[in-house]
Amino acid sequence: MALSPTPAQRRVVAAADPGTGRLRGTEAQLAGLVKRGLAFRHPRPPHDHFLTPAGHRIREAGGEPEIPVASAAASQDVSPAPASREVFAARVGGEPSVAGAAGDARLREVRGAWQGLLELRRMTHPDGSTDRPCAWERSHLVRAAALALEAAGHRPAGPDGDDGSDDGHGGGYRVRATPQPEAVAVHEPDGAALRACAETLERAGWQVGEHTEPRSRARYLLASPRKV
């Protein structure tokens, strides 16, 4: 879980430009926000700092982080991390059932997170485009793909314990890491729903191919962030 920001860091986040997310603060404050996944340093001069989707959510809510930004390795674990009331995370499928995981409030949170991610794309791509994933998504593949699916209204799978499997037999999508670099697997037992997931990811800027599991013969998607 991401570290909570200090009061001084929260003030920096609250004072961010509402349109661009541009930050002003001391080097220590900005570095601390980057460490917590709430800000990023623009790769081009003058190397200003901007809010990540997590930072935008804090600014809007005026409280604790709602989108955890873990390290790339942690965010791509095959086993999904349990959600909590305090921390927003896109549903990767298979999480334990929790209160507030569905309904209008959840829908608003997911849509807000997706809009924040589109803004992050716009700010980090040299051409200002929002039609393909950004560097943040490439380092958080599972969460990024899951956010695209959940924001489009696809249903995540219920707890893995319901069917004892991790291949989607219980219904709903599951997004999992793969041994391949920059690729995630999306499982969904319903063929029509699987194809709908593919269409959503393609619209979100992912390259998608449909494959078959050698042993189970189940169909699944392999998706990678599109670069151009």
* Mean pLDDT of the chain, nearest integer: 79
Q: At residue 134, what is the residue type?
A: C
Q: Taking 60 as the threshold, does the pLDDT of residue 12 lie above it?
A: yes
User: Who has greater pLDDT, 125 or 193?
Assistant: 193
**Per-residue model confidence (pLDDT) at position 131:** 93
- Between the two ends of the chain, the Cα-to-Cα distance in Å is 32
Q: Taking 60 as the threshold, does the pLDDT of residue 64 lie above it?
A: no
**Average pLDDT, stretch 123-151?**
91
**Per-residue model confidence (pLDDT) at position 218:** 92
pTM reported for the whole predicted model: 0.63
| CA distances in angstroms from 62 to 12, 133, 189, 212, listed in the order given | 11, 27, 40, 46
> 141 CB contacts (<8 Å, ≥6 apart)?
75, 76, 177, 182, 183, 184, 225
**Per-residue model confidence (pLDDT) at position 160:** 64
**Per-residue model confidence (pLDDT) at position 111:** 85
**Per-residue model confidence (pLDDT) at position 19:** 67
Burial of 222 (0-12, 13-18, 19+ CB in 10 A): middle
**Per-residue model confidence (pLDDT) at position 168:** 41
Q: What is the pLDDT of residues 170-196, one digit of tens each?
A: 689 999 999 988 999 999 999 999 999
**Per-residue model confidence (pLDDT) at position 184:** 96
**Average pLDDT, stretch 130-149?**
92
Distance, CA of 5 to CA of 152 (rounded, Å): 30
**Per-residue model confidence (pLDDT) at position 51:** 84
Q: Taking 60 as the threshold, does the pLDDT of residue 165 lie above it?
A: no
**Per-residue model confidence (pLDDT) at position 57:** 77
Highest mean pLDDT among 40-54, 108-122, 211-225: 211-225
Q: What is the pLDDT of residues 36-59, one digit of tens each?
A: 888 888 777 778 888 887 787 777
Burial of 104 (0-12, 13-18, 19+ CB in 10 A): exposed
